[in-house]
Amino acid sequence: MYSLFAQIARFLPSAAGVAPINGVAHNLMERAEARAGRNPQQAQELRTAAYAYLSVVR
């Protein structure tokens, strides 16, 4: 669970200029796809974070 928070913490400062265009969930899913081959567990955590973000926003 800590790795999920670490991934999100690393992601947020760099997302300030990107988030309005693509959205936070979109960026999390892209990162999950990039991690899928190397670390499936982290990829699943990022997908879960994207779904959780969407459920809060909607």
Question: Alpha-carbon distance 44 to 21, whole Å?
Answer: 24
Summarize pLDDT for 15-50 with one digit per residue, the tens: 455 445 568 888 999 999 998 889 999 999 999 999
Rg over CA atoms, the chain: 11
- Which has the higher per-residue pLDDT, 29 or 3? 29
Where does residue 3 fall: left (phi above 0), alpha (psi -120 to 50 degrees), or beta otherwise?
A: alpha
Residues ≥6 apart with Cβ < 8 Å to 45: 3, 4, 7
pLDDT bracket for residue 54 (50, 70, 90): confident
CA dist 20 and 24 (Å) reads 8
What pLDDT, on the 0 to 100 scale, is given for residue 19? 45
Residue 23: the pLDDT is 85
